[in-house]
């Protein structure tokens, strides 16, 4: 835990479940952090959260909050479409920003956000917290120790049986969410793979998107902001399944598969393929290593300790330690965040084009069409 004499005042843009269950408790456990303000267009919700979490200042206007409170840290956890303008406003107000995933809807927006952070000398990072989970830390330790040799491929999967969040809310509204499964769980699955690959430079991507369950009111999960019961007028115009294949400049490859809903069993894993070893990394307590020892094929079940703290709290603590000046404290860097957004942007472009696309700076800077309208 951080022990610096510096102190940080945190304001929250958004008062939804992820702020209530993830961000607020994660910041409040740190001794040099004060949670000072919260804002939500639903003022009653913001007031209720503030009362429970003992947060003094409550707003319905985020710009007014930023001006009056002048926080050191701003957490942006609102519908996806607002991540770019709110993060830029917070940076311009002098705050460091932890933005919920996805960082942005397009690569062009993400680049603009990171350019602004560099211009004002503040840190902007994104909340892809699963890399801080104990299975992922264990897997990365074996990567760093050289167990795998040269990693040449990964396969990352997060597939739900019935897990469409917030049906009829902003989650399933393309104007507010930008996309469905790929911008929700897909961002997490992608970061897990790229993290162990040390974020190589992507060159091409071939992707497809489908919307086969939500459009029929099927595959609904029991969570999400402002859930609306399935009705004839409930809006659902985002993807509920996305697949992709990514090639990188160093010759490596990544297979990506996510789904909010399907007729198959729940799956959440990462496979690592190396010249000297391989691994299957689960979510909670599963890391299996594979290699050859003395001419024999071997499988090792790694003992993963129970993590009572959780990946959210570890991510937030690492972010604050970096602000404290600890350069060894890990965050999702600007380069990493942009690489992830570039790939997701490319998946949507490939889904529109119907073929593999190049991920040059120029190709991902043009306006993005609707991948479900091909």
- Print burial letters for 18-49: b (CB count within 10 Å at least 16), e (below 16): bbbebbbbbbeebebbbbbbbbbeeeebbbeb
Decide: 324 and 4 in contact? Cβ < 8 Å.
yes
Residue 2: pLDDT band by 50, 70, 90 thresholds? low
pTM of the model: 0.95
Residue 226: pLDDT band by 50, 70, 90 thresholds? very low
Residue 84: pLDDT band by 50, 70, 90 thresholds? very high
Over residues 192-213, the mean pLDDT reads 98
The CA-atom distances, in angstroms, between 25 and each of 89, 151, 248, 264 are 24, 37, 38, 35
Nearest-angstrom CA–CA distance, 371 and 374: 6
Q: Which residues contact 351 (CB under 8 A, 6 or more apart)?
A: 207, 208, 209, 242, 371, 372, 374
Strand segments (E) across the chain: 8-13, 33-39, 57-59, 73-76, 96-99, 124-126, 151-159, 202-210, 241-248, 253-259, 267-274, 277-281, 287-293, 296-301, 357-358
pLDDT at 77 over 80: yes
Decide: 90 and 76 in contact? Cβ < 8 Å.
yes
Q: What is the pLDDT of residues 227-256, one digit of tens each?
A: 556 666 789 999 999 999 999 999 999 999
Decide: 346 and 247 in contact? Cβ < 8 Å.
no
Strand order in the sheet with 96-99: 57-59, 33-39, 8-13, 73-76, 96-99, 124-126
Nearest-angstrom CA–CA distance, 252 and 256: 14
Q: If we measure between CA atoms, which residue out of 270, 189, 185 comes closest to residue 221?
A: 185
Q: What is the pLDDT of residues 124-181, one digit of tens each?
A: 999 999 999 999 999 999 999 999 999 999 999 999 999 999 898 899 999 999 999 9
pLDDT at 302 over 80: yes
Decide: 191 and 341 in contact? Cβ < 8 Å.
no
Task: Look at strands 124-126 and 96-99 and give their pairing.
Answer: parallel
Per the prediction, the chain carries an average pLDDT of 94
Other beta carbons within 10 Å of 63: 15
Which residue's structure tokens are 């469905």? Answer: 180
Q: What is the pLDDT of residues 338-370, one digit of tens each?
A: 999 999 999 999 999 999 999 988 778 777 767
Q: For residue 327, how many C-alpha atoms fall within 13 Å in the half-sphere facing its CB?
A: 0
CATH code of the domain occupying 8-126: 3.40.50.720
The CA-atom distances, in angstroms, between 107 and each of 127, 335, 361 are 17, 12, 9
**Phi, psi (rounded to 5 degrees) for 202:** -75, 145
Domain boundaries, the chain: 8-126, 130-373
List the structure tokens of 169.
Answer: 């809310």
Query: In this predicted structure, what is the pLDDT of residue 225?
Result: 46
- Helices 185-196 and 334-353: crossing angle, nearest 10°? 120
Query: In this predicted structure, what is the pLDDT of residue 260?
Result: 97
Nearest-angstrom CA–CA distance, 366 and 353: 14
pLDDT at 83 over 50: yes
Decide: 24 and 46 in contact? Cβ < 8 Å.
no
Query: In this predicted structure, what is the pLDDT of residue 363?
Result: 79
Nearest-angstrom CA–CA distance, 129 and 261: 22
Query: In this predicted structure, what is the pLDDT of residue 227?
Result: 52
Rg, the chain, Cα only: 20
**What's the CATH superfamily of 130-373?**
Dihydrodipicolinate Reductase; domain 2 (3.30.360.10)
Query: In this predicted structure, what is the pLDDT of residue 234?
Result: 83
Alpha helices in the chain (DSSP H): 17-18, 24-28, 43-53, 62-69, 83-92, 107-120, 134-144, 174-177, 185-196, 311-324, 334-353
pLDDT at 264 over 50: yes
3-class secondary-structure state, position 187: helix
Other beta carbons within 10 Å of 282: 17
Q: If we measure between CA atoms, which residue out of 290, 292, 260 comes closest to residue 272?
A: 290
């Amino acid at each position: 835990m951080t022990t610096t004499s510096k102190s940080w005042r945190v304001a929250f843009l958004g008062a939804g479940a992820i702020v209530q269950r993830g961000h607020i408790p994660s910041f409040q456990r740190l001794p040099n952090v004060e949670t000072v303000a919260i804002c939500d267009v639903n003022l009653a919700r913001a007031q209720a959260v503030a009362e429970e979490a003992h947060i003094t200042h409550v707003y319905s206007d985020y710009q007014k909050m930023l001006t009056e409170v002048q926080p050191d840290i701003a957490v942006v956890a609102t519908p996806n479409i607002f991540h770019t303008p709110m993060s830029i406003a917070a940076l311009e107000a002098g705050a460091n920003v932890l933005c919920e995933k996805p960082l942005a809807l397009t690569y062009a927006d993400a680049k603009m956000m990171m350019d602004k952070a560099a211009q004002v000398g503040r840190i902007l990072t994104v909340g892809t917290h699963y890399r801080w989970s104990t299975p992922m830390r264990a897997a990365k330790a074996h990567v760093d120790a050289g167990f795998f040799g040269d990693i040449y491929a990964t396969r990352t999967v997060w597939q739900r049986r019935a897990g469409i969040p917030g049906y009829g809310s902003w989650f399933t509204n393309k104007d507010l969410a930008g996309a469905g499964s790929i911008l929700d769980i897909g961002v997490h699955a992608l970061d897990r793979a790229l993290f162990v690959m040390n974020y190589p430079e992507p060159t091409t991507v071939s992707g497809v998107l489908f919307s086969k369950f939500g459009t029929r009111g099927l595959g609904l999960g029991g969570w999400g902001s402002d859930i609306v019961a399935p009705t004839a007028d409930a809006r659902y115009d985002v993807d509920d399944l996305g697949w992709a294949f990514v090639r990188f400049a160093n010759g490596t490859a990544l297979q990506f598969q996510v789904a909010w809903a399907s007729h198959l069993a729940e799956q959440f894993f990462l496979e690592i393929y190396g010249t000297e070893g391989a691994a299957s990394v689960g979510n909670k307590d599963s890391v299996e290593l594979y290699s050859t020892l003395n001419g024999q094929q071997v499988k090792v079940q790694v003992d993963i300790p129970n993590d009572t703290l959780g990946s959210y709290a570890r991510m937030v603590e690492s972010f604050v330690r970096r602000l404290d000046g600890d350069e060894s404290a890990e965050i999702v860097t600007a380069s990493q965040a942009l690489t992830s957004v570039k790939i997701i942007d490319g998946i949507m472009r490939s889904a529109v084009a119907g073929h593999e696309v190049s991920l040059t700076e120029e190709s991902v800077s043009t306006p993005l069409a609707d991948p479900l309208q091909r």
